[in-house]
Amino acid sequence: MTFNELGLKDSILSAIGDLGYEKPTPIQQEAIPFLIENQGDLVGLASTGTGKTAAFGLPLLNQTDETDRITQGLVICPTRELCIQIANDLENYSKNIKGLDIIAVYGGSDIQKQIRKLDKGAQIVVATPGRLVDLIKRKKVRLRNVDAVVLDEADEMLNMGFKEDIDFILDETPVHKSVWLFSATMPKAVSQIAKNYMESPFEITVGQKNEGNKNIEHHYYVVKERDRFAALKAIIDYHPSMYGLIFCRTRRDTAEVADKLMANGYNAEPLHGDLSQAQRDRVMEKFRQRTLQILVATDVAARGIDVDDITHVIHHKLPEDVENYTHRSGRTARAGRKGVSLAIINTKEGRKIKTIERIIKTKFQSKDVPTVNDICEKQVVNTVDKLTTVEVDEKAIEKHMDVALEKLESYTKEDLIKRIVASEFNRFKKFYEKEGNLNARLSDKGGDDFGRGRRGSSNSNAQRFFVNLGKKDGFNQGALLRIVCDSSGINKSLVGKIDIMNNFSFFDADKSYTDAIIKSMQNVNFEGKVLNVEKTNSSSGGRKGGRRSNESRGKGRRNSSRRNQKSKRRY
Ligand code: AMP
């Protein structure tokens, strides 16, 4: 099938021809003719990189009347980056339609500037939900004549908590309009939106529901928790020409991993919410231009990253919510290319891999962390490749050649090659020999030792902690778990039994993180109250299998907490 058969205007066909698009992608082949011929609603289940922007963008432009400046099309998407990207794409597709204007409105940018543009009118508005709600409330954007609303990356928008904003926005649009919803996955909340706002939508699925991109290979490496960074480094060293995106769970992890990589001489930078918008833009620009080789990002910051050619996505830790794995890995293998998604897991995370396999309907390959020999071999090949492809500025170098030749006169060709190779080789050899074998085995249970469903049980690796807040402070299990994991960066599977008492609380966590937990949780603010965390000497379980009555359990804890409170007062 060619673009000429889809029913698009000549002005659009010529623009996509200029972009070098030869053939519509599968989702475009299905969506474009349907949307041009019907006024109906559409659900497009497609992962990122399938060409979905053009799948909705081309028909949207095709049906827009450029002689009328009223807003006729609205695209809502989760992030500023995606918003800018979509608006750019639409501008490219409509460059031959005179009088057609597209405005991108998104948070983190001067609202007055956006208002001035909106005052001039635009037929198509591309927006992030929060900013659009703000503009609607200020009566700066009118959506009463919108014919089509596109919800792009609907699952992401719901993940990010935009449900209420989306409801508010859709209520501002006319009853009779088309809704075109695109989503990589179809969790219940997305089906609910489809139910609430659409009438028997036409459904297009590229691949199967909730299935990831077939061009992505999925690998995992099992290492001890403390070896995560060394394993990450080994993987990067084994793929010297990677153009990679590393996902971390928290801002703190992201900053730390990026710092360590930079300190080790890698061309890497972080992208997370603690950076200013200008800093984030600068990092993204460098990454897009490929002057930055490795981007280290949180899930939220990386949403909407639309960079083709990413060869490797590395999960420094698997995402908290396994559904996010599809989004992360979908940043590689875009537009028909191939890519690899590499997860570094600890010995207790085998079950997570199984869950993800069920979601993406694809098996992971278990891989060994590259050894010192593997890495050295790859690096030698890389060094030689670089030598053979390096551009030589004959003129500039000529005047230095005599000195170089004189100094190297006594070496044979073979000696020289050995020395060049060794200069790279030595540095890797030294590092990895010190690290030893980084591979570990999945624990027999393949799952959480502390984790969900077992949070009531005790564990010999557990350290018991005291926290100075309890039920009366509005504290609960979820809040405690979130604070422990967010602040210290540990996986929630490493947090065990939690007891929330009236005035204070206790929890178990893996012993090896004791210092990290105490340090990172100290002085965290919970609803205006400052947290104090201490180690206790008591253990949560073991006594009568941990099945003591609530009352006696409470008493025992209260005593131990008094001890703690006393010792705290001394400080
Ligand atoms: P998207 O899924 O919309 O983010 O598109 C992914 C990439 O594919 C973008 O770089 C698009 O420019 C490119 N693309 C979209 N449609 C086509 C097509 N028919 N032919 C070639 N490239 C395309």
Instruction: Say how many CA atoms lie within 13 Å of 23 toward its Cβ.
Output: 5
Protein residue closest via CA to atom 19 of ligand 1:
24
Q: State how far the alpha carbon of 208 is from the alpha carbons of 44, 47, 185, 336, 413, in Å.
A: 11, 10, 10, 16, 57
Q: List Cβ<8 Å contacts ≥24 apart for 354-357.
A: 354/446, 355/322, 356/218, 356/318, 356/322, 356/325
Minimum-distance ligand 1 atom for the alpha carbon of 21: 20
The pTM assigned to this predicted structure is 0.52
Protein residue closest via CA to atom 12 of ligand 1:
51
CB of residue 1 inside a 6 A radius of ligand 1: no
Show Cβ contacts of residue 498 under 8 Å, excluding neighbours closer than 6 positions. 455, 477, 480, 481, 505, 506, 507, 508
Minimum-distance ligand 1 atom for the alpha carbon of 3: 19
Show Cβ contacts of residue 550 under 8 Å, excluding neighbours closer than 6 positions. none
- Ligand 1 centre from 180 Cα, in Å? 18
Protein residue closest via CA to atom 4 of ligand 1:
49
- Ligand 1 centre from 335 Cα, in Å? 6
- Ligand 1 centre from 129 Cα, in Å? 24
- Ligand 1 centre from 528 Cα, in Å? 48
Packed helices 251-263 and 228-238: angle between N→C axes, nearest 10 degrees? 50
**CA–CA distance, 275 with 172 (Å, rounded to integer):** 33
Both tokens of residue 218? 């999925």
User: 281 burial class (0-12, 13-18, 19+ CB within 10 angstroms)?
Assistant: middle
Pairing between strand 462-467 and 505-510? antiparallel
Minimum-distance ligand 1 atom for the alpha carbon of 89: 12
**CA–CA distance, 113 with 395 (Å, rounded to integer):** 51
pLDDT mean by block of 10 residues, the chain; 571 residues: 92 95 91 90 85 95 96 95 93 96 93 95 96 96 95 88 93 93 86 88 71 81 93 94 94 94 94 88 92 93 79 94 83 83 94 88 91 86 86 90 91 89 78 80 55 48 88 86 82 82 88 85 85 80 34 36 33 15
Radius of gyration of the chain (CA): 28
Ligand 1 pocket: which of 4, 8, 21 to mutate (most atoms within 8 A of CB): 21
Question: Residues 419, 280: contact at Cβ < 8 Å?
Answer: no
CB of residue 221 inside a 6 A radius of ligand 1: no
Both tokens of residue 80? 């500023």
CB of residue 530 inside a 6 A radius of ligand 1: no
CA 554, 558, 561, 565 torsion-angle sign: positive
Protein residue closest via CA to atom 21 of ligand 1:
21
Please report the pLDDT score of residue 543 as a whole number. 34
**CA–CA distance, 104 with 84 (Å, rounded to integer):** 6
Q: Is 115 helix (H, G, I), strand (E, B) or coil?
A: helix
Both tokens of residue 312? 């490797």
CB of residue 54 inside a 6 A radius of ligand 1: yes
Both tokens of residue 3? 């673009």
Rounded to a whole number, what is the distance in angstroms from the first to the last CA of the chain? 76
Question: Residues 352, 68: contact at Cβ < 8 Å?
Answer: no
Minimum-distance ligand 1 atom for the alpha carbon of 25: 19
Quickly count: other Cβ atoms within 10 Å of residue 549's Cβ: 9
CB of residue 306 inside a 6 A radius of ligand 1: yes
**CA–CA distance, 292 with 314 (Å, rounded to integer):** 16
- Ligand 1 centre from 89 Cα, in Å? 9
Protein residue closest via CA to atom 1 of ligand 1:
51
Please report the pLDDT score of residue 207 as a whole number. 58
| The dihedral formed by the CA atoms of 136, 140, 146 and 149, expressed in degrees to the nearest 10 | -50
CB of residue 308 inside a 6 A radius of ligand 1: yes
Minimum-distance ligand 1 atom for the alpha carbon of 53: 3
- Ligand 1 centre from 90 Cα, in Å? 12
Among the listed residues 100, 176, 103, the one whose alpha carbon sits nearest the alpha carbon of residue 145: 176
**CA–CA distance, 505 with 210 (Å, rounded to integer):** 39
Ligand 1 pocket: which of 25, 58, 332 to mutate (most atoms within 8 A of CB): 25
CB of residue 334 inside a 6 A radius of ligand 1: yes
- Can you list the domains of the chain with their CATH numbers? 3-205 (3.40.50.300), 216-371 (3.40.50.300), 374-435 (no CATH), 462-569 (3.30.70.330)
Show Cβ contacts of residue 501 under 8 Å, excluding neighbours closer than 6 positions. 470, 471, 554, 557, 558, 561
Protein residue closest via CA to atom 20 of ligand 1:
21
Please report the pLDDT score of residue 441 as a whole number. 83
Please report the pLDDT score of residue 257 as a whole number. 96
